[in-house]
A and B are shown apart, each in its own frame.
Chain A
């Protein structure tokens, strides 16, 4: 019974995606209608300069935002996991978790007000666009990264760090040789999560961006208001192929990593 529901649920999740991808190969100019096999919509996609420009901007923003989010979120997670008592800890915890539960329109609007206020007070940011979107996405991503890093840190065996310190390692050496390797997978997961969030966001970006900063989701959203085109099917197929490729690479790296560390353990034993 529950297996049947799982199959139905997965079917429901996948049906629109599979049809979106399947009809990307249709020659018909009407979306979701079969008109014989053709790659013409992929050719149209590759020739669409506005879309490629927006995709490139989104990619750069996502790379920057994910990296900043991982650094900041890592620090937040470390403070939450390791610093039990300091003045303002309750406030720190509440602020760290807030972006996770704030509705998107609230996050977008409130960050826009902040950028407007900063511009009035400091003259910076001079214009809204890629920079403001990057900062907004980094804030959002850092909240998710913090959860991932905090949960990993609180699972760690503190004994290893204490042993290294007892044997004369400086705090920096303990961090680099003991803590960092153990939280590296969590940092990678956090980076990937922040990267995906940034690439997928349309609401927050619409609020904090300006005329110069149209990201891919913003462009897509404005085009979808005008109507569906088969080019959107081709874009869906391309993105799914890239996601599958990235996932395959990540899985292969994880596999290599785990077989390596398995060998190391064998040597040590």
Chain B
């Protein structure tokens, strides 16, 4: 009985929704609300998707953006997590909080702040103009750089926390033993710290990569208008074109692309 309630909920609100995506992806468009016909079968969405090179390009670009975001987050998060794990014990809760608290200011507000900093009449251009570094405002906003900056800002804490947890559990005795046996600091890091932290680093990378691949809000607010990503394509097909079957097919394909990273992540998580 106690199992039936959550099981029923999960079936109704997780399993059925995913199946419906698959069903509607092959439904025929129709006039009215909802704009498709239940029980119909059509390959229209699939044909649109394969004939228009736009969607394949969006998939490739999304994967590239997600990969770069995850790599940047990992590169930044690793030294941060190392410093966190090695900080005096009484400072650690405060420092962890300092990493987490930006989360609580609201994701949209943080992205709005970047808009305010980066736009042509924005804070950064104002400072650079006042210092005489530049003579005309730089077009910083609505660029791939601004988009990546926003993505890293949004996802960095996701990468820091699993790495911190891994590094905290790491047996410092191994590093000391290596140092006692004559290994230099770099050798200790390369042969002991890095291999032991690898599973945590992989988890951190995937924890950023998976949501970043379907991200909609950050590219919309900071990225260049022409940078079509899958998240934006799903949103556009649904809200602008009212082509629900196409939006569903794009969502199904996004899931298919992410199955491998997701399985990998779950294996890392359930590791004993």
Nearest A residue to B75, CB-CB: A5
Q: Is there a chain B Cβ closer than 8 Å to A212's Cβ? A: no
Nearest A residue to B247, CB-CB: A109
Contacts of B101 in A (CB 8 A): 243-244, 247
Query: How far does the Cβ of B238 sit from chain A's closest Cβ, in whole Å?
Result: 6
Contacts of A110 in B (CB 8 A): 17-18, 20-21, 251
Nearest B residue to A33, CB-CB: B126
Which of the segments A6-14, A39-47, A161-169 contacts the partner chain?
Answer: A6-14
- The count of residues in chain A whose C-beta lies closer than 8 Å to any C-beta of chain B is 74
Interface residues on B, range: 35 or more
A175–B99 Cα distance when bound, in Å, is: 35
Contacts of A12 in B (CB 8 A): 76, 153, 156
Which B residues, 80 to 109, have Cβ-Cβ distances below 8 Å to chain A? 80, 82-84, 86, 95, 97-99, 101-109
* A17 and B113 contact, Cβ closer than 8 Å, known pairs A88-B7, A99-B14: yes
- B116 and A31 within 8 A (CB): yes
Q: Is there a chain B Cβ closer than 8 Å to A30's Cβ? A: yes
- A83 and B83 within 8 A (CB): no
Q: Is there a chain B Cβ closer than 8 Å to A66's Cβ? A: no
- A232 and B109 within 8 A (CB): yes
- A101 and B6 within 8 A (CB): no
Nearest A residue to B76, CB-CB: A9
Contacts of B248 in A (CB 8 A): 109, 113
Which residue of B114, B160, B238 is within 8 Å of A207 (Cβ)?
Answer: B238
* A235 and B109 contact, Cβ closer than 8 Å, known pairs A5-B76, A6-B84, A104-B211: yes
Dominant SS at the A interface?
A: helix
- B115 and A228 within 8 A (CB): yes
- B80 and A9 within 8 A (CB): yes
Nearest A residue to B85, CB-CB: A2
Q: Is there a chain A Cβ closer than 8 Å to B217's Cβ? A: yes
* A6 and B80 contact, Cβ closer than 8 Å, known pairs A103-B254, A236-B109: yes
- A217 and B106 within 8 A (CB): yes
Q: Is there a chain B Cβ closer than 8 Å to A253's Cβ? A: no
Which of the segments A89-97, A181-189, A259-267 contacts the partner chain?
Answer: A89-97
A229–B238 Cα distance when bound, in Å, is: 29
- A95 and B76 within 8 A (CB): no
Which B residues, 218 to 234, have Cβ-Cβ distances below 8 Å to chain A? 221, 230-231, 234
Contacts of A104 in B (CB 8 A): 211, 214-216, 231
Q: Is there a chain A Cβ closer than 8 Å to B41's Cβ? A: no
Which residue of A76, A200, A207, A247 is within 8 Å of B6 (Cβ)?
Answer: A76
A23–B109 Cα distance when bound, in Å, is: 13
A239–B110 Cα distance when bound, in Å, is: 12
- A114 and B16 within 8 A (CB): yes
Q: Is there a chain B Cβ closer than 8 Å to A153's Cβ? A: no
Binding site for A on B (CB under 8 A): 2-3, 5-7, 9-18, 20-21, 24, 34, 38, 76-77, 79-80, 82-84, 86, 95, 97-99, 101-117, 119, 121-123, 126, 153, 156-157, 160, 210-211, 213-217, 221, 230-231, 234-235, 238-239, 244, 247-248, 251, 254-255, 258, 262, 265-266
Please name the 8 residue pairs, one residue from A and one from B, whose CB atoms are nearest each other, closest first.
A103-B214, A110-B17, A5-B79, A16-B113, A6-B83, A243-B104, A95-B10, A2-B79
A-B contact list, 19 entries, CB within 8 Å? A9-B79, A10-B99, A12-B153, A20-B105, A31-B116, A75-B3, A86-B3, A92-B7, A96-B6, A104-B216, A104-B231, A109-B248, A111-B17, A114-B12, A114-B16, A228-B119, A236-B105, A240-B105, A247-B97
